[in-house]
Amino acid sequence: MPTPEHAELRAEHTPDAVRDRLREGPASTYLGDFVYGAIDGAVTTFAVVAGVQGAGLSAAIVIILGLANLFADGFSMAAGNFLSRRAEAQHLARVRRMEARHIQKIPHGEREEIRQIFADKGFEGDVLDQVVETITANEKQWIDTMITEEFGLSLSAPSPWKTALATFVSFNLVGALPILPFIANAIWNDLFASPFTVSIAMTGVAFFLVGVLKARVVEQRRLLGGVETLAVGALAAVIAYLVGVLLRGLA
């Protein structure tokens, strides 16, 4: 008796389902950018909080340095992600223009490249001739094949703007958690007896949940992903706290 997973896989691989999926093309996902932005936001902001606490500085310093770090680092990370994705898209466009130019100037050479690519895959004789003829009959298909097979590039690229936005939003949303208890105390007159303790608890939960999301992205066991991310965040916080303790006399 087929399992539910097997039945779902069979439904996804019927001729109609396969045709529809291939026509839609690969979907761009920004979950990875969101997850890694969140991890970086939580780690860096909580490291600032832990370092300031280790140095014995005031809650006002926590808020000032925490917010400065939150927005500056969040923007920096989003900008870096934007430029990286934009460079990838520009490189893809450059390769596409180059291949179009080569096809126009030396079509016989480009056909030979297609022939050798598919000969290496095991095609030969009349079948190989037919494959070459079919691919080179359509210029877009010809160029797409060269892009993926010769250069190893993906034909679809995530939007640089959406990538940057996902990174910036996640960095600031999750990265704000470590300093929220200190802001709440400043607004509501010492709402928490120990804002640092509340910050540790909130950030720990955030680390674990983001790790669970990360595990989904990389197809890792969710509990392991949560614990792993929590451990990394805790280590960063301990290091920052110890540095603050060691440098306390300078403040």
Q: Residue 140 pLDDT > 60, yes or no?
A: yes
Residues 6+ apart with CB under 8 A from 80: none
pLDDT in tens, 7-64: 666 666 677 665 665 566 555 567 778 888 888 888 888 888 888 888 888 888 888 9
Residue 240 has pLDDT above 90, yes or no: no
CA distance 73 to 174: 13
Contact 214, 225 (CB under 8 A): yes
The structural domains of the chain, with segments of one domain joined by +, span 30-244
The Cα–Cα gap between 68 and 63 comes to 8
Q: How many other C-beta atoms lie within 10 A of the C-beta of residue 32?
A: 17
Query: Mean pLDDT over all residues of the chain?
Result: 84
Q: What is the pLDDT of residue 120?
A: 92
> pLDDT by residue (tens digit) across 149-199?
988 888 877 788 989 999 999 999 988 998 999 999 989 987 888 888 898
Which class for 75: exposed (0-12), middle (13-18), buried (19 or more C-beta within 10 A)? middle
Residue with the two structure tokens 């126009």: 104
Contact yes or no for 18/10 (Cβ under 8 A): no
227 vs 97: CA distance, rounded Å: 46
Question: How is 202-223 classified by DSSP, letter by letter?
Answer: HHHHHHHHHHHHHHHHHT--HH
CB of 29 within 8 A of CB of 160? Answer: no
**Total-model pTM:** 0.74
Q: How far apart (Å, rounded) are the C-alpha atoms in residues 63 and 111?
A: 63
For the beta carbon of residue 12, count every other beta carbon within 10 angstroms. 10
Cβ(102)–Cβ(109) below 8 Å: yes
Query: What is the pLDDT at residue 22?
Result: 54
